Structure 1
Amino acid sequence: MKINRNKWTTVLGWCSLLLAIGFFGLQIGYLVMHRFFQVEYIDNQLFFIINCLCFLGITVSLLLLLVLTRKMIWILSGAAILFFIVNGVLLVENSQETNNITSISPDWKHVFVVKENPATGAAIYYRSYYGIFCRPKQVLPYRANDRYKLKWLANDSAALTYTDANDKIQQFIGTYGDRGGGRSYYYVGAEIHGQWQGGGALVISNTKGISVTEAGTTELFEWDSIVQFGTLAVVLKRDDQAVWTLSLNKDFEIHSDASEPATGTIRLYRATMENNEPLTLRNEPLN
């Protein structure tokens, strides 16, 4: 066994080795953080993919940096193929044990992550960190029935629509910011007090609750039927089932003076498993 002296082959070999070392360090760091801080990859399959990339880098570096005999090449190739097969099998098994629901925001700054156990229907919402890592934040309030639809309402808010064990439609909103500069917590329903119109829909928020008029039908949702998510969205419910989501757009401004009219736009999104788009509404003076 000799060292390969070709310049470019050597450079590529060392680059492959450095990548392999980087992937190996990433895996070690992940295992430590998972052990002590409950950190996970945003998609569990990444663990096995990175394993394969690490071993691929080692294999390529050995082939490029060393002059191997034919027997050693066959042994190395066989070990690589076996390693890839084992990780492929583990990846498939893991995908059957965990349903990963992952989506990147339109501006590529946030990742929505929910992991569901298909056997029990339990689903957990994760908060993403540094792109590929996440930590569990909360359990979805209703057990899922393996039917999901995800829609980003803004760059920092995403609506997950799903059916629960009783085949009722539910919505969970992942939020990643606010409209008040992070100074304090506020209530979305109070901030959108007034009348909003757009796309053939009318929304009125007042002391009684929030009413929605669409396609000639008006429905009032009292405050005890309204669930807030973060500081960006509320879900309007009827009979323990989601009906609408109202979210604040990026141009919505929170005023410290409650007497000032709200500026910006909001979005109205119907809770349905069918394909649909949110409506953009603007503040209109009350008649």
Structure 2
Amino acid sequence: MKQSKVKWTKSVGWLLFLMAIGFFCLQIGYLIIQPRYQVEYIDNRIFYVINMLSIICLYMALLFLLTWKKIWTVVVTTMVTLFIIVNVVLLVERNKEVKNISSISPNLQQIFAIKQDTETGEAMYYRSYYGILSRPKDRLEPEIAGDYKIEWLANDIAAFTYEAEDQTIQQFIGTYGDRQEDSMSYYYVASQIRGKWGADNAQVERQNNGIAITVDDQTELFGWDNVEQFGTLAIVLKKNNEAVWAISLDENFVANSEEIEPTVGNISLYKATMEENDPIVLAYQGGAF
């Protein structure tokens, strides 16, 4: 029984030691590739979290593998505690310089991330290319100046709604896939939502001169100059340089290049507001031209 316990203790100790080495190698690798490939952790706080995980795993491994005198236990524990405190302080201070805004998709496959310089107000959208590593992709304009919220319209579509510095409501859409069935490399969302789409109290219709939105019997037409596309999955409709609606292609939507082919799938209509609201799922009602 005693030998079994010792064996189990040693196994746990070596496992923790390997985890500590793994975290350490991850940090070294990150420091090497960061300047070469211009990548960052998708959230700056990850760097300090990994530091703490590394030292905690190493500390626990040594406790399992070695027999220490009490004085050494106190010394090492104090050093580890100080190391963790320093990293917590650095994490908090770093987050004061660069505000990290992030959200994980419902299926845990994608990460929406924005980093905002708290001094200049500049906000950049970061696209994850290597798991927890990312590169800056787009700058948000106008800049964030108030409240914000993130709503996942699908597992690969994140709608970021925020109050801008010019007192308007804006939307930025992060997209992480497509709805292609054939060999199209790029397509316009507006061309895919041809015809009429509807739900109980809402309707979307693509017309020759823009997109008409009808909600509660109130219709508003958005000309093509007021339609902004994000990736190949969503568009934002604007009025007076302010976001009003977002339209996204649901996961069951199938994009095709032939307008004569029947439309497959649904789209979602999402209002740009700081109030809590859910996207409206619309079904195809015909009328393509």
Answering whether residue 210 of structure 2 is matched by residue 209 of structure 1, we say yes
Aligned to 1:51: 51
Asked if the contact 1:199/1:280 (under 8 Å) is kept, the reply is: no
Q: CA deviation at 1:202?
A: 1.1
Aligned to 1:129: 129
Which amino acid counterpart does residue 92 of structure 1 have in structure 2?
Answer: V
Cα deviation 1:7-44 (Å, max 9, x = unaligned): 23222221111111000001111111212112211221
Q: CA deviation at 1:138?
A: 1.4
CA–CA separation in structure 2 for the residues paired with 1:261 and 1:191: 11
Asked if the contact 1:118/1:146 (under 8 Å) is kept, the reply is: no
Greater shift after overlay, 20-29 or 144-153?
A: 144-153
Which amino acid counterpart does residue 77 of structure 1 have in structure 2?
Answer: T
Answering whether residue 41 of structure 2 is matched by residue 27 of structure 1, we say no
Cα deviation 1:224-278 (Å, max 9, x = unaligned): 1100111111100000000000111111122232222322111100000100000
CA–CA separation in structure 2 for the residues paired with 1:104 and 1:63: 35
1:133-172 counterparts in 2 under 5 A?
133-172=133-172
Answering whether residue 188 of structure 2 is matched by residue 184 of structure 1, we say no
Which amino acid counterpart does residue 205 of structure 2 have in structure 1?
Answer: I
Cα deviation 1:190-213 (Å, max 9, x = unaligned): 111111111411111021100101
Asked if the contact 1:121/1:146 (under 8 Å) is kept, the reply is: no
RMSD: 1.6
Moved over 3 A (4+): none
CA–CA separation in structure 1 for the residues paired with 2:46 and 2:186: 36
Greater shift after overlay, 38-47 or 75-84?
A: 38-47
CA–CA separation in structure 1 for the residues paired with 2:23 and 2:200: 49
1:39-118 counterparts in 2 under 5 A?
39-118=39-118
CA–CA separation in structure 2 for the residues paired with 1:160 and 1:245: 10
Aligned to 1:264: 265
What is the number of residues matched between the two proteins?
A: 283
Which amino acid counterpart does residue 85 of structure 2 have in structure 1?
Answer: I
TM-score normalised by L of structure 1: 0.94
Asked if the contact 2:160/2:173 (under 8 Å) is kept, the reply is: yes
Structure 1 stretches lacking a partner, 5+ long: none
Q: Helix, strand or coil for the counterpart of 2:159?
A: strand
